[in-house]
Amino acid sequence: MPEIRALPQRRSRPDRAPISLGQALRFWFKLGFISFGGPAGQISILHQELVERRRWISESRFLHALNFCMLLPGPEAQQLATYLGWLLHGTRGGVIAGVLFVLPSLFILITLSWIYLAFGDVPLITGLFYGIKPAVTAIVVHAAHRIGSRTLRNTWLWAIAAAAFVAIFALDAPFPLIVLGAALLGYLGGRLAPELFGADSHAAAKHDSGPALIDDHSPTPAHTRFSRARLARLLLVGALLWLLPMGLLTALYGWHGTLTQMGWFFTKAALLTVGGAYAVLPYVYQGAVDHYGWLTPTQMIDGLALGETTPGPLIMVVAFVGFVGGYVRQVFGAEQAFLAGTLAACLVTWFTFLPSFLFVLAGGPLVESTHGELKFTAPLTAITAAVVGVIFNLALFFGYHVLWPEGSAGRFDWPSALLAAAAAVALFRFGRGVLEVLAGCALAGLLVHLALH
């Protein structure tokens, strides 16, 4: 797509759309297939493409939208894409951007999940995952370090992280309770000691490439202005989009049916993803592995590995959880296991992302009217600090099941330990990317597995 150059007089013509919906549609479609690298990488791609290269939006407008999305439960990169699509072309633009950010990942994960379950016992697949699992453990530790180095800026935040770790590791406290407790501490800390709980600047670099199509002082487009009628319609449609499938599932399978419980569980999970996908993964494994038994701890690790290697938000690992749960439970019988898994993956994705669209489309007009006045970051700062402790617990959970695959009474898996150490060195010392580390460990794991068997 050729670069679109903005003219100053365009900014004074709010009634003239500078970018066609077709142009935006082609970009969002492309983004869905190249959005690797987790939230940081995806936000960087959005920044490079829309702020630096195409100049569709200015630096400050981009960061203002990003700050809002960071405050919301849900995948911040997907919500940022939804917000920018809405800013450009209204509700349909936001829906198109958000859906295309997720859709390629959903189809890819359904395919990979089926291959994993159908051919997981083949030596080639088994060997690849033997190497991937230790890499995932190192990646989760690296995520905790990356978030912690940005967030834990003083003793109080370190204390919140430590308390969160103790709460979930030693006391088995529910993740929602940890989030609420951290939010309360952050709210009180923001009032009593704002200098300790101030907003943390995001990693997006300041960039000045001249005027953008939507610039700092561009007139507010009509569709971004607050309207009570529009908000009421949006909330009504959102409620119907949740109630209709949930009601249908309840009528067909009962409240305790597998698909119904998946819809309810992942609706709750969608409201707890403050701090990114790694923050909600402990809640997902608590529910999906320990409570419902939809998949095993080993399958959860493998699912995270698949999520890391596909485009789209990392929280798309929930599609793997849904597919495995529906497939293994044989909701439609043994002959329709693939159909059950596919439907479960689609339902889980629907209930996980529906709140994200509603948050962005409902809150967008408020954000557009408050440039530079968003002051609710103290609870987010405390929650993010707690998330560091929770993610570290997740790393221990994964590490235990990788290094002692037969349980505490079994043997220690030295090859897996060496692979995990090598992955950690590659991430921490040499700054290698996640995909490179996963590919290298997968190949090494295959060689070790073939040599041992």
Output the 3-class SS for the chain: CCCCCCCHHHHHCCCCCCCCHHHHHHHHHHHHHHCCCHHHHHHHHHHHHHHHHCCCECHHHHHHHHHHHHHCCCCHHHHHHHHHHHHHHHHHHHHHHHHHHHHHHHHHHHHHHHHHHHHCCCHHHHHHHHHHHHHHHHHHHHHHHHHHHHHCCCHHHHHHHHHHHHHHHCCCCCHHHHHHHHHHHHHHHHHHCCCCCCCCCCCCCCCCCCCCCECCCCCCCHHHCCCHHHHHHHHHHHHHHHHHHHHHHHHHHCCCCHHHHHHHHHHHHHCCCCCCHHHHHHHHHHHHHHHCCCCCHHHHHHHHHHHHCCCCCHHHHHHHHHHHHHHHHCCCCHHHHHHHHHHHHHHHHHHHHHHHHHHHHHHHHHHHCCCCCCCCHHHHHHHHHHHHHHHHHHHHHHHHHHHCCCCCCCCCCHHHHHHHHHHHHHHHCCCCCHHHHHHHHHHHHHHHHHHHC
d(CA 64, CA 413): 47
d(CA 162, CA 53): 42
pLDDT, residue 167, reads: 92
- Structural contact between residues 348 and 321, judged by C-beta atoms closer than 8 angstroms: yes
What domain range is 360 assigned to?
A: 104-199+221-452
pLDDT, residue 202, reads: 43
What lies within 8 Å, CB to CB, of 343 at 6+ separation is 259, 326, 331
Is residue 71 included in any domain, yes or no?
no
Is residue 5 included in any domain, yes or no?
no
- Structural contact between residues 310 and 438, judged by C-beta atoms closer than 8 angstroms: no
Instruction: Report the chain (453 residues): mean pLDDT per 10 consecutive residues.
Output: 39 53 92 72 78 82 76 83 93 95 93 88 78 84 80 89 92 81 88 73 46 71 84 95 97 94 93 68 86 90 81 88 93 90 96 94 80 59 82 83 77 91 92 83 90 78
d(CA 240, CA 227): 20
Is residue 66 included in any domain, yes or no?
no
**Half-sphere exposure of 47 toward its Cβ, with a 13 Å CA cutoff?**
21
d(CA 64, CA 71): 11
C-alpha distances in Å from residue 30, one per residue of 52, 74, 97:
17, 22, 10
The token pair that represents 226 in the structure block: 């607050």
Is residue 183 included in any domain, yes or no?
yes
Is residue 51 included in any domain, yes or no?
no
Chain centre to alpha carbon of residue 47: 18
- Structural contact between residues 132 and 340, judged by C-beta atoms closer than 8 angstroms: no
Is residue 412 included in any domain, yes or no?
yes
- Structural contact between residues 318 and 105, judged by C-beta atoms closer than 8 angstroms: no
The token pair that represents 153 in the structure block: 């800026």
Residue with tokens 């960087």: 44
Amino acid identity of residue 280, one-letter, is V
- Structural contact between residues 289 and 320, judged by C-beta atoms closer than 8 angstroms: no
d(CA 246, CA 264): 8
Task: Give the residue from 58, 76, 78, 56 showing the smallest Cα distance to 66.
Answer: 76
pLDDT, residue 1, reads: 36
Is residue 322 included in any domain, yes or no?
yes
The answer to whether the Cα torsion of 221, 226, 230, 235 is positive or negative is positive
Amino acid identity of residue 149, one-letter, is S
pTM to 2 decimal places: 0.72
For Cα atoms 239, 245, 247, give the angle at the middle one, nearest 5 degrees.
85
- Identify any residues that bridge with 214 across adjacent strands, giving them in sequence order: 57
pLDDT, residue 103, reads: 94
Number of domains into which the chain is organized: 1
pLDDT, residue 125, reads: 77
Is residue 329 included in any domain, yes or no?
yes
